[in-house]
Structures are given as C-alpha cells and as structure tokens.
Amino acid sequence: MIAIVDYGMGNLRSVQKGFEKVGASAEIVTTPEAICRASKVVLPGVGAFRDAIGHLRDKGLIDSVVEAVESGRPFLGICLGLQLLFDVSYEDGEYTGLGIIPGRVVRFDFTNRPAAADLKIPHMGWNRLYWDKRCPLLEGLNSGQHFYFVHSYYVDPVNPEVTCGRCNYGHDFTAMIWQGNCFATQFHPEKSQAAGLTILNNFAAL
C-alpha cells in the first residue's frame, strides 16, 4: 500500500486520485503506525515550510517519515514535500528541515539578473524539465517534458549528484532529486497530466 502522509497541508485527494488513475492503491494516513506499515510513502505539501515542519512535529510524524526513507522503502516527496527533506529553509526566517538531503531551501532572487527582471515570483505554470541521466521515475518520458510548478522557493543541494531533473526560471534550479530509494519533485505530478501520471505509475511500480 502507498501511504500519502496527511500532516494538515497539501492537496492530498488530488495525489490519491492520480495514483487511482494509474491503478495503484494509495491511502491517506495520519499516524506513525500507518506510515510504518506502508510499502511506499508519499510526502506531499503546499504552503509555508515553517507551518509544515511544525505540523509534522506536532502530529508526531517526523520520526516515521525519516524512518521510511532510511528503511529503503520507495519514498516520494512532492513540492513542499521535496523542500522538507533538506537541512534548512530560509522561507520567512530560518527553519530546520528533516535533514535527509544535505542542502538548503532558498527564494528566487533575480536582483542581479537583468534578463530575468520581468519574471514573476512565484514561479507558476508549465515549464520544461531536463535531465541527463536515467531515473526510474522518468522512464517512458523525454527530457524537455512539461510539468506544472507553483513555488517561490527552490532547493539547493550540497551534492549536485542528487539532482536528476532541472528546470530554468531565471536560472537553472534543481526540480527533481533522486538518492537511493528517495525521490522528490518540485513540480506537481498529480497536476501534470499524462507526464505526471507516468511518474506516479513508475513510482507505484518500484
């Protein structure tokens, strides 16, 4: 069973419906016990980093989410669920993340980029994802495929090797990571039509 972690933030039903469309069984869960029982775990999320990490802590879910990654079970973070995997976020302050992927979460800043001066923040809408190496979740897709984004902050990993997909919005940024059993996307596969469903199907098939 695929567990979709409900910590009070995120369009959980859309993610669940995405898995249902590809014939996968996914359950929205709220307890550490349910996360530990799952064969695969999805951490979605929209909104502020501070609130998200606070809700995870208040609901007692942090240890079970970290254990899910460390156990070797397939794990997928989506949007804010990607950012939460990192050490620290500078969204409206400085907040400690889960520390699973070394690196930070920073805001788009086009101050010294005249060519990007007209770009709006948040980065919202369809944009291309590019990759150079094979990733199990990208099987059946071609580099340059469009996905749907909504975010003002992006991840900056210490090790560039964890980046398996990049996007350009004013500058290149990490839009997808892969480290062992841990995958995460800045874009929303559940809102990215056929390409997004391919990613969900590939994850379900792991």
Among residues 123, 167, 182, 188, the one annotated as catalytic is: 188
Instruction: Round to whole Å and give the CA distance between 114 and 6.
Output: 41
How many CB atoms lie under 10 A from the CB of residue 161? 11
Counts of helices then strands in the chain (DSSP H, E): 6, 13
Catalytically annotated residue among 91, 164, 167, 190: 190
Is residue 36 flagged as an active site residue? Answer: no
Q: Which amino acid is at 6?
A: D
Specify whether the CB–CB gap between 176 and 134 falls below 8 A: no
Question: Which H or E element spans position 42?
Answer: strand 40-43
- In the residue annotation, 20 being an active-site residue is answered as no
Residue tagged active-site, from 79, 164, 167, 182: 79
Helix then strand then coil, in percent of the chain rounded to 5, is: 30, 35, 35
> Is residue 188 among the annotated active site residues?
yes
Is residue 45 within 8 Å of residue 80, measured between CB atoms? yes
Rounded Cα distance, 147 and 107, in Å: 20
Residues marked active site are found at: 79, 188, 190
